[in-house]
């Protein structure tokens, strides 16, 4: 297999003061869409329509990318927590007197007298 030579980026490849181009604007738009799906605690407070330079675009891209990675790491850590099984022993939700098996004679007469009327 032959080795493919990839040239180093030129020094003027990224200029923080240069106006942002259409490719970066499209990338910002896609990242903004991805950011909207993140929980609020991971979202940046950068107003994307105010991004005018490559440096501002790079800062936004870095922040959102780090937030996405952090959100995925936190979710993986949450899934990795062991699920605790039921505790040993008897757990009682509420204590009450057990119902009597017999009805009192008053209960029978009241219900039977209601049916007759």
Its pTM stands at 0.61
- Residue 51 and residue 22 in contact, taking contact as beta carbons nearer than 8 Å: no
Percent share of the chain, pLDDT over 70: 75
Average pLDDT over residues 105-116: 57
Rounded-to-5 percentages of helix, strand, coil across the chain: 50, 0, 45
pLDDT digit string, tens, across residues 26-68: 999 999 999 999 999 999 999 999 999 999 999 999 999 999 9
- Residue 60 and residue 48 in contact, taking contact as beta carbons nearer than 8 Å: yes
């Amino acid at each position: 297999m032959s080795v493919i030579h990839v040239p180093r980026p030129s020094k003027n490849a990224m200029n923080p003061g240069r106006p942002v181009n259409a490719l970066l604007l499209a990338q910002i738009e896609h990242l903004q869409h991805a950011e909207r799906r993140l929980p609020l605690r991971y979202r940046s407070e950068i107003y994307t329509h105010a991004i005018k330079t490559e440096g501002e675009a790079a800062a936004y891209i870095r922040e959102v990318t780090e937030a996405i990675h952090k959100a995925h790491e936190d979710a993986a850590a949450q899934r990795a927590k062991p699920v605790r099984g039921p505790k040993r022993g008897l757990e009682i939700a509420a204590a009450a007197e057990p119902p009597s098996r017999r009805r009192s004679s008053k209960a029978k007469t009241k219900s039977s007298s209601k049916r007759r009327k």
